[in-house]
């Protein structure tokens, strides 16, 4: 799961995700950002430059509820 699964940040902030699990995951909002495959201890950083609500998923586990939202204002 994503922890936290929802987050509120300001325009220009960076969000870094770290996979602390042995299972592979992604951090993906199709059309906006995509970490690609992240193995254990893999990380990805994205800087949000536009306001809005960004719904993200793990491409592999969204059907298991692995998803969340980042609100940028
Ligand atoms: Cu996953």
Q: In order of start, what are the domains of the chain with their CATH numbers?
A: 6-72 (2.60.40.420)
**C-alpha 66 – ligand 1 centre gap (Å):** 6
Ligand 1: centre distance to CA 69 (Å): 15
Tens-place pLDDT, residues 35-62: 999 999 999 999 999 999 999 999 999 9
Q: What is the 3-state secondary structure (H, E, C) of the chain?
A: CCCCCEEEECCCCEEEEECCCCCCECCEECCCEECCCECCCCEEEEECCCCEEEEEECCCCHHHCCEEEEEEC
The rounded Å distance from CA 31 to ligand 1 centre is 18
Instruction: Give pLDDT, residue 14.
Output: 98
**71 CA to middle of ligand 1, Å?**
21
Question: What does the mean pLDDT of the chain come to?
Answer: 97
Distance from residue 36's CA to the centre of ligand 1 (Å): 11
What's the maximum distance between 2 C-alpha atoms anywhere in the chain?
33
Measured between alpha carbons, how far apart are the two ends of the chain, in Å? Answer: 24
């Amino acid at each position: 799961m994503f922890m936290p699964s929802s987050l509120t940040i300001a325009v220009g902030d960076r969000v870094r995700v770290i996979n602390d699990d042995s299972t592979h995951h992604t951090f993906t909002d199709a059309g906006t950002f995509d970490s690609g495959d992240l193995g254990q201890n893999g990380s990805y950083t994205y800087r949000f430059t536009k306001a809005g609500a960004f719904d993200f998923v793990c491409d592999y586990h969204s059907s298991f509820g692995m998803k969340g939202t980042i609100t940028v204002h």
